[in-house]
Structures are given as structure tokens and as C-alpha cells.
Structure 1
Amino acid sequence: MDWQPFVGQLVCCIDDAPTNAFCITEIERGTIYTVRAVTDPDEFIAYYLGGDPAEIGLMLEEVRRERIPDLGEVPFRLSRFRPLDPERIAIFRRLLAPVDGVPA
């Protein structure tokens, strides 16, 4: 990955394929999430999820996964997200904000 996530960062989901045993979608592509924790790479979890053993994981404020015995809460792979620039988001929010009393 060419970016380093941090707690509190806004990220956008780019891969919402189900990765749990029940094929339940837990995250939605295009949705913005907040990073709750950044985890170190874990070979066992990578094997369990089918990913790169050197990839770090993310836990999200908006999604709390059920704890798995001997694993705890399994993080989402970093490659499933892209970072968002809060300044760019603020610009779009200002553009979309209602304008009060503009004379015609």
C-alpha cells in the first residue's frame, strides 16, 4: 500500500466482497468509514481471510465484528479501502450546503 492509515482517519470502501463464513456483507462499497484501530500484519489471520500476510488491518468505528475465539476481532484488510482527504470532503460539503436568502 502506498498510504499509512491512522486512528480517526476517514476511509472509503472499494471492496465489499463478503469475507466471513456466512457470506454476509459487513461493509458497503462507496461508504465512508472511520478508522478505529490499525493492526499489525498477522499471517494466521491472512491465511484465515485469504490475503497478503504482510498486509496491515483496519478496525472501523462503524462496524464491530464478533470476536472469534483465539483471534479476537478480525480486522478488515487495508487493500479494501482508500484514504479520504478531509479538506476535499469539506469543500464538497460547502458546495452542497443550502444557501440562505440569496436575492435573485
Structure 2
Amino acid sequence: MSNSTANKDNHWLELEEWRKKIDAIDHQLSNLLCERLNCAQNISSLKQQIGEEVLQPAREKKVLTNVLNQADSELKAGALKKIYKCIIEETRLFQHEWKNEQQPLSSR
């Protein structure tokens, strides 16, 4: 086996190790995102009880700022901003859907 072939094989093995690591992180992320949605459901319930709207722009801005403060580069901050804008939007939609499910059919 030539050095080139051996290097290529080593790179494939390394690639597979990184992919396994990403798979494990994705598993953790999906569990954490489900936990986040559970929190959002409880928040939606409380907002409904106290007459607050689902949309809370100041809170969303604070969440985004907190996340972006964790980035160690501008490139990562840009990616995190896009990812978290999606997470925040989907969480807001989830709260609306959950809130609508809680209403009796006659008042929908």
C-alpha cells in the first residue's frame, strides 16, 4: 500500500470519527431542544394565565444576545445568530400551536 493510499485511509477513518462525534452531539442537541420546547410550553401556559402575548421581542433579543456572547469568533457568531433565529421562531410557533390546542373547539 502506498503512502498516499494509507494517508487517504487515515483521513477516512478520521472523518468517520468526527461524524460519530457530530452524531453524539446531535443526539444531545435533540434532547436539549425537546427540553427547551417543554419549557416553552410551560411558559406559554403561564403567559396565557397572566394575559401575556407569545411574542416577547425584548426577551427574544436577550436570548440571542446571551447566545452570541458564547461565540469565540465572528464566523461562529454569524452561524449561531442564524441558527438561534430559527430556534426562536420555531419555539414561538410551537407556543402558538400549543396555545391553540388548549382552547376549546368552540372558541377556535
TM-score, with normalisation over the residues of structure 1? 0.28
Greater percentage in helix: 2
Which has the higher relative contact order, 1 or 2, with Cα contacts under 8 A spaced 6 or more apart?
2
TM-score, with normalisation over the residues of structure 2? 0.27
